[in-house]
Amino acid sequence: MSGTRRHAFVALLGATMSSSLPIHGRAEVATPTAGQLIYTYDILHPHYGEIGTFTDTIDRKPKTMRIEGRLRIAMKVLGIVLYRKETDVTAIMRDERLISLQSITKKGGEYLQVRGEIQGDQFVVNTTRGTFAAPTTILPSDPFVLKSIGEGTMVSTDTGRISKVRVSGGDQDTVSVKGDSISGRRFSVVGVTRWDVWLDDHGTPVMFRIVENGTPIEFILRSTTAVAGNKVAARGLF
């Protein structure tokens, strides 16, 4: 494995749960319907093929949204796992603001834990590596909270890192994936790393791409599954 490819891959593993950001500004997409849905994504690397899955369980209510994220990545060469990462995240939004964040990440021999909550006029993040504070307007790095363009502050759900970002775009675009065409409104998120996100007319991320050192890692929506009792029909994209 070349040094450049490995560096890009390792950087991806540190940013996978930071694929797109919510920014306060001009509204760009419709709000998805209320209910509980499970969105499953395949993760594709240009050199190593399919390297894992990312699942977001979104539970929407009139004033709150609960996000349960589950990332599983295993990098293999000739069937041998060279690198593995597992992340589980719970984020709770109220009135489109983050009020609670918890995550546990295991990668290699490293264990990371993140806990965040509103304390007074700040959102305080406690991590394995330290404690950080940010404005209460901060929002989590999850594609399902991307709604507008502009500048803002985000917290990485797997590392607790706080950073400034800018979101631009919103124009209709079509991209080819696995021989199929995917259409959506394309947004670009620029911060420490660059992300491109394609949202459908309902605000669902049908695809998002992380670009690190020129290497694009794609997350492709495989299926949307309704939880029992939800009237929204399940669908599959591939």
Task: Provide the residue count of the chain.
Answer: 238
Average pLDDT value over all residues in the chain: 79
List, in order, residues 6 or more apart from 70 with CB less than 8 Å away.
54, 55, 56, 57, 87, 88, 89
Q: Is the pLDDT of residue 36 over 90?
A: no
46 located within any domain? yes
118 located within any domain? yes
Q: Encoding tokens for residue 71?
A: 């990332």
**pLDDT value at position 5?**
39
Total domain count, the chain: 1
58 located within any domain? yes
**pLDDT value at position 179?**
73
Rounded CA separation 142/133 (Å): 19
238 located within any domain? no
pLDDT classification of 53: cutoffs 50, 70, 90: very high
**pLDDT value at position 139?**
86
Domain interval for residue 45: 3-229
pLDDT classification of 113: cutoffs 50, 70, 90: very high
Q: Is the pLDDT of residue 165 over 80?
A: yes
This model's pTM is above 0.85: no
18 located within any domain? yes
- Tell me the per-residue pLDDT of 62-83, one tens digit each, with 9 for 90 and over: 899 999 999 999 888 888 888 8
- Tell me the per-residue pLDDT of 180-224, one tens digit each, with 9 for 90 and over: 788 888 998 888 778 899 998 888 899 999 877 787 889 999 999
234 located within any domain? no
Positions of E strands within the chain: 35-45, 49-60, 64-77, 80-94, 97-107, 110-119, 122-127, 130-135, 139-140, 150-155, 162-177, 180-190, 194-199, 205-212, 215-226, 235-236
Q: Looking at residue 13, what DSSP letter applies? A: H
93 located within any domain? yes
**pLDDT value at position 35?**
74
CATH label of the domain that carries residue 28 = 2.50.20
Percentage of the chain exceeding pLDDT 70: 80
237 located within any domain? no
Q: Is the dihedral of CA 176, 232, 196, 168 positive or negative?
A: positive
Rounded CA separation 138/54 (Å): 23
Nearest C-alpha neighbor of 45 from the set 69, 70, 21, 16:
16
Contact present, 22 and 152 (Cβ < 8 Å): yes
